[in-house]
Amino acid sequence: MQRDAIMHSTNPLIEVKRFGQSIWLDNLSRTLLREGGLKRLIEEDGISGVTSNPAIFQKAFAESPYYKEEVAQLRQTSATLEQRFETLAVPDVQAACDLLRPIWEQTHGADGYVSLEVSPTLAALEQATVDAGKRLHQAVNRPNVLIKVPATPQGVLAFEALTAHGISVNVTLIFSLHHYMQVAEAYIRGLKRWLDGGGDPQQVKSVASVFLSRVDTLVDKRLDAIGSPEALALRGTSAVSMCKLTYQRYKELFHGPLFAELKARGCRPQNPLWASTGTKNTNYSDVLYVDSLIGPETVNTVPDATLGLFRDHGKAAATVETGIQQAQRDYLALEHLGINMRDVGDELQVDGVKLFEEAFEKLLASLK
């Protein structure tokens, strides 16, 4: 018992909670659910949420043995491929929601959520995204589900509309400060519409998923192409700098005058969520995107491998607000070198939608 208490107290995944951050798992499968893996992560590592996406479900369907029988049965039905997918995915999301329900209740709806994404083929279709979001929300029928919507121009409008209907949303594929501001402002507009219609302010929760590793991958390529000492010194800084500056925008928006009235009426701020936090470049720390961004009212959703690495040698400390001036200098230096971070974000968002579409197509093909 004493040894367990010592291990528990020194687990950095548990320790980050002292600094106000939630750690969510960026994975979901029936193997995790049925073999107790997710339950153990909740109990032993303090995992307090789950995110999923088409690539995660595609991998789960391909690797987990617990879908095979139901897939065989679905193939004998007249259901469309997308209906077959939802028949498989929705119970998984419901089961994860039920496991996390005690956390949702203990935190009064601040934590304990599971994300389910609308089809990435709808990324450029506002009304279709709204319709899909409502349908999935109703199908899961759990108060702690987040419907995942991309931060494309049409997706942002759909997000506002879903918020105005009292539906909690995880806005994904945010790759720039510009994307973040569009999303945050849409949340505020949607909340106002929800309250004006008599909605319960406590019913709505949202997170803004800002992606990291892909930002560094693309920016580093451009810095390598420039090749100057100044350029090479900036490698591996762009993503963390972007998120540190995003957090400052978050504080200004949600702890400032723009949100003050909504806050007084009981609305929740839209928390920043750090996503794509597995380090792709082996020259960088394998926990770079976790260690560097710990702070109040944030979420970090981590894949299994990064979770294990941070548990092993991560450092829990208040870091999201350290080095802000350096982050600003690095951002300005990138602009000075001709790297426009808004353009980088737009390019990555287009690529991100395409990658999710490809994963979704593979997923649907496996259900034929």
Average pLDDT, the chain: 95
| pLDDT tens digits along 337-365 | 999 999 999 999 999 999 999 999 999 99
Structure tokens at 121: 């083929």
Q: Clarify whether 39 is annotated catalytic.
A: no
Q: How far apart are CA 359 and CA 368, in angstroms?
A: 15
Q: How confident is the model at residue 52 (pLDDT cuts 50, 70, 90)?
A: very high
Strands 206-211 and 113-117, by their bridges, are unpaired
Asked if 231 and 296 touch (Cβ cutoff 8 Å), the reply is: no
What average pLDDT score do residues 219-240 get? 97
pLDDT beyond 50 at 304: yes
Which positions ≥6 away from 265 have C-beta within 8 Å? 195, 201
Query: In sequence order, what are the residues at sequence separation of 6 or more whose Cβ sits closer than 8 angstroms to the Cβ of residue 45?
Result: 11, 13, 14, 23, 307, 311
The residue from 148, 315, 362, 368 that is catalytic is: 148
Copy the structure tokens of residue 165.
Answer: 């209907």
pLDDT in tens, 243-290: 999 999 999 999 999 999 999 999 999 999 999 999 999 999 999 999
pLDDT value, residue 280: 93
Domains of the chain as residue ranges with CATH: 2-212+261-322+344-365 (3.20.20.70)
The predicted pLDDT at position 7 comes to 43
Q: Cα dist. 118→54, 151, 191 in Å? A: 9, 12, 21
Please name the residues in contact with 2: beta carbons below 8 A apart, sequence gap of 6 or more.
Answer: none
Q: Has residue 46 got a pLDDT over 50?
A: yes
Q: Report how far residue 237's alpha carbon sits from residue 82's, in angstroms, rounded to the nearest whole number.
A: 39
DSSP per-residue string spanning 17-58: GGGTEEEEES---HHHHHTSHHHHHHHHH---EE---HHHHH
What pLDDT, in 10s, does the model give residues 314-326?
999 999 999 999 9
Smallest Cα–Cα separation from 305: which of 65, 27, 102, 37? Answer: 27
Rounded Cα distance between 23 and 144, Å, is 16
Backbone angles phi, psi at 58, to 5 degrees: -60, -45
